[in-house]
Structure 1
Amino acid sequence: MSLDNVVEDIREEANARAEEIKESGEERAAEIRSEAEAEAEALIEEREAAVERQLEREREQALSSAKLEAKQARLGARRDVLERVRSQVESELAGLEGDRREELTRTLLDAAAVEFEDEDEVHVYGRADDSDLLETILADYDGYELAGERDCLGGVVVEGANSRVRVNNTFDSVLESLWEDNLKEVSTRLFDDQ
């Protein structure tokens, strides 16, 4: 074997080895590229899913916020209507006249008088506009006298002169009690609540 043949064999072997290394490198590069593309695809899918979840959370928050605002607006409107109804009832009570006003005032005074059966002197207070009516009614009660005015829609506040008992039987106090006891029913009737 000549030196030229040995050199040629080494060259062929080196070229073959270089070709193997090149092919191996290309295969490895293809694997790395494939892995990188798969990782990139997984990362894109993960990010898209995260963005979608964030969008869904923001949608739900916006919807919840809108529902809360609507509920608050609805409750505010209901409160306004209930206040107008109550104001109208107060106006009607304040505007009662004649026999109906006398009848209600007597009923409230009779209910309070039960507390003062042992009293010789009883003080009665009422609305300034009702002073003549109260004087007329009190003429039927021994020991009862009109003692002053109260800022109220009507009715009476009764106090014993010798005791610390005070009975507030004004239209205002009766309305307040009835309003609290029946507010749910009034609301249901006004707003057709289920």
Structure 2
Amino acid sequence: MSLDTVVEDIRDEARARADEIREAADERAEEIISEAEADADLIREEREAEVDREIEQEREQRLSSAKLEAKQARLGARRDVLQDVREDVEQAIADLEGDRREELTRSLISAAVEEFDDDSLQVYGRADDQDLIEDILTDYDDAEFAGEYDCLGGVVVESEASRVRVNNTFDSVLESVWEDNLKAISDRLFEAQ
């Protein structure tokens, strides 16, 4: 073997070895690129899922907020309607006249007087009802009209001796009835909803 042949064999071996290293490097580069692409796809899918979750969460929050606003508006409207109904009832009570007003006032005075033991009683009532109250009080020995009381009707009776005050105004009766029946009133007004 000549030296040229040996050199050529070494070169061929070096070229073959270089080709093997290049092929191995290319394969490794392909693996790295493939892994990187798979990682990128996974990251992109995770990010898309995260964005979808955020969008859904934002949508749910806005929907919930809109529902809450609508509920608050509906409750506000109901409150307004109930207030209007209450004002209409108060006006109807204030407008009571004649025998019906006398009957109710007489009943409220009687119930209030029963709360006291033979005391001297001061009776207060609506200014427009003074004559009616004074007329009814003629049935009671120790009771007198003592002045005006801002109310829809009825009376407030008190006694200095016992320091007791009984509020038997139409207002107090209405308040009690209103509170006791508010749910039923509301249900009836808004049953179709």
* Stretches of 4+ aligned residues off by more than 2 angstroms: none
The Cα shift of 1:117 comes to 3.7
Matched, 1:179 2:178: yes
Corresponding pairs, count: 193
For the residues of structure 2 that align with 1:183 and 1:128, how far apart are their CA atoms?
A: 30
Alignment of 1:17-32 (within 5 A): 17-32=17-32
Alignment of 1:154-169 (within 5 A): 154-169=153-168
Q: Is the 8 A contact 1:159 1:165 kept in 2?
A: yes
- 1:83 aligned partner, one-letter code: Q
Matched, 1:56 2:56: yes
- 2:88 aligned partner, one-letter code: Q
Matched, 1:66 2:66: yes
For the residues of structure 1 that align with 2:136 and 2:104, how far apart are their CA atoms?
A: 11
Please report the RMSD computed on the Cα atoms of aligned residues, expressed in angstroms. 1.1
Aligned partner of 1:133 in structure 2 is: 132
For the residues of structure 2 that align with 1:40 and 1:76, how far apart are their CA atoms?
A: 53
Aligned partner of 2:97 in structure 1 is: 97
The Cα shift of 1:161 comes to 3.5
1:168-190 CA distance string (max 9 Å, x none): 00000000011111101111111
1:85-111 CA distance string (max 9 Å, x none): 000000011111111100000010011
Q: Is the 8 A contact 1:187 1:193 kept in 2?
A: no
SS at match of 1:116: coil
- 1:162 aligned partner, one-letter code: A
Q: Name whichever of 109-118 and 172-181 sits farther off.
A: 109-118
Aligned partner of 1:84 in structure 2 is: 84
- With normalisation by structure 1, the TM-score equals 0.97
- With normalisation by structure 2, the TM-score equals 0.97
The Cα shift of 1:12 comes to 0.3
Aligned partner of 1:2 in structure 2 is: 2
Aligned partner of 2:145 in structure 1 is: 146
> Alignment identity in percent?
71
- 1:143 aligned partner, one-letter code: D
Q: Name whichever of 147-156 and 161-170 sits farther off.
A: 161-170
Gaps of 5+ in 2: none
Q: Name whichever of 25-34 and 135-144 sits farther off.
A: 135-144
